[in-house]
Amino acid sequence: MSNERRTIDEALQSIERSQQARRVLMLVGLAVVVGLTSLGLEVLQFSISSLVGQWPQFTEAVSEFVPPKFEEFTLYSKNNEVGADAEGIGRLAGLWESFLHPGTFVETLTTEAGRGRTIVGLSLITIVIGFVGTVLGFPLALIFGILGSERVVPFPFNFLFRGTMSTIRAIPALVWILIYIPLAGITPLSAMLAVATDTIGNLGRLFTDELEEIDEGPIEAIRSTGANRPQIISFGMLSQVSTSFVAWTLYILEINTRIAISLGVYGAGGIGSYINTRIALGAYSRAAAGIAMVIFIVLSVELVSSRIRARLRPGEHEGKSVIDALRDLGTPGKWLGMGGGSKN
């Protein structure tokens, strides 16, 4: 009995020592994070008094952005200068008047003047950059992703393709467009090439990681039928991950749309270029209209992509309709992370 008691006491002491060691490590880790953060703030010359002193100028600058002015929303609002001299809510007149004349959207999107001089037209350019870049980057991402898998190309030869994808991923799209300047200048075309190149690295690595986690059973089954190497890859491997590949591609499309906006700020066209130009000219209310359009584009692409991915992989994504998503905004439990709402 005494031996059992001694064993229990020793186990309890071991647990207490382990917990104390974990607490000490947590405190040390927290101290290191706080110390590095303080050091970083010092390097960045962070000063609360400086921010407080600049706060009035900041609020004054921000106030010039609202309300946004949609005079250049479509060709109709631009050519008729709808809301050009308006103040307050009247600045939204270009938006309302454009929807009251729906034919102007067709004219805006199908004419060069509309695509290059209006918010709707430049937004279309941004979406096209992200979409075409993703589509053109997909084939090479698929090839590199497959060849980067150790299940397809033996070690260490697969690292030739993994290394290529890692190198591409290490260079941001904002740098890739600089590399493409001699080829196409800073234009929507070079932005599309930068997005396509970025897609090869990012999407290819996702494909490789997905192939590393597939089951061996279907591969062995296909191999036992006497299938050759391409047939094993097609029917034993890719058949297991085809749905995931489409889902990952849609996810990359979301990211590429945001990248296209950033490249536009760099001067490569699209809605980002519109915002950058208007801010440079001091037309902050027009820039705010472009920012509102950016929010609409990003949320729309994300919503559509999320819905399709929810259909493809229902066990990993919670599919919601637009109405359900808006209804959740009015559920206090959702905001507080309490999982409020019905449990259907």
For residues 293 and 68, is the Cβ–Cβ distance under 8 A? no
Percent of the chain with pLDDT over 90: 47
Mean pLDDT of 162-175: 92
- Per-residue pLDDT at 115 exceeds 70: yes
* pLDDT value of residue 43: 94
Q: Which pTM does this prediction carry?
A: 0.79
Task: Identify the three-state secondary structure at position 340.
Answer: coil
Could you read off the pLDDT of 45-85 as tens digits, one per residue?
999 999 999 999 999 988 888 889 998 999 999 888 887 77
Q: Are 93 and 82 in contact (CB under 8 A)?
A: yes
Q: How confident is the model at residue 89 (pLDDT cuts 50, 70, 90)?
A: confident
The structure tokens listed for 291 are 């920012």
At 150 the three-state DSSP class reads coil
Residue 166: pLDDT band (50, 70, 90) is very high
Task: Flag whether pLDDT at 343 surpasses 60.
Answer: no
CA dihedral 112, 115, 118, 119 (to 10 degrees): 180
157 close to 148: Cβ distance less than 8 angstroms = no
Let me know how long the chain is. 344
Matching residue, tokens 């279309």 = 124
DSSP letter for each residue of 178-236: HHTHHHH-SSHHHHHHHHHHHHHHHHHHHHHHHHHTS-SHHHHHHHHTT--HHHIIIII
CA distance 302 to 277: 26
Q: How far apart are CA 214 and CA 239, in angstroms?
A: 10
What is the distance between the alpha carbons of residues 158 and 17, in angstroms, rounded to a whole number? 45
| pLDDT value at residue 35 | 96
More confident residue, 187 or 344: 187
Which residue type sits at 274? Y
- Tokens for 110, please give them: 């199908």
91 neighbors 68 (Cβ within 8 angstroms): yes
Residue 33's CB: how many other CB atoms inside 10 A? 10
DSSP string for residues in 32-76: HHHHHHHHHHHHTT--HHHHHHHHHHHHHHHHTT-S---TTSSHH
User: For the chain, first and last CA: distance in Å?
Assistant: 54
C-beta atoms surrounding 178 within 10 Å: 14
CA-CA distance, 1 to 88, in Å (whole number)? 85
Give pLDDT, residue 162: 92
Largest CA distance in the chain: 96
- Is the CB of residue 233 less than 8 Å from the CB of residue 294? no
Angle, in degrees to the nearest 10, between helices 119-147 and 284-312: 40
User: Which residues, at least 6 apart from 15, have a Cβ–Cβ distance to it below 8 Å?
Assistant: none
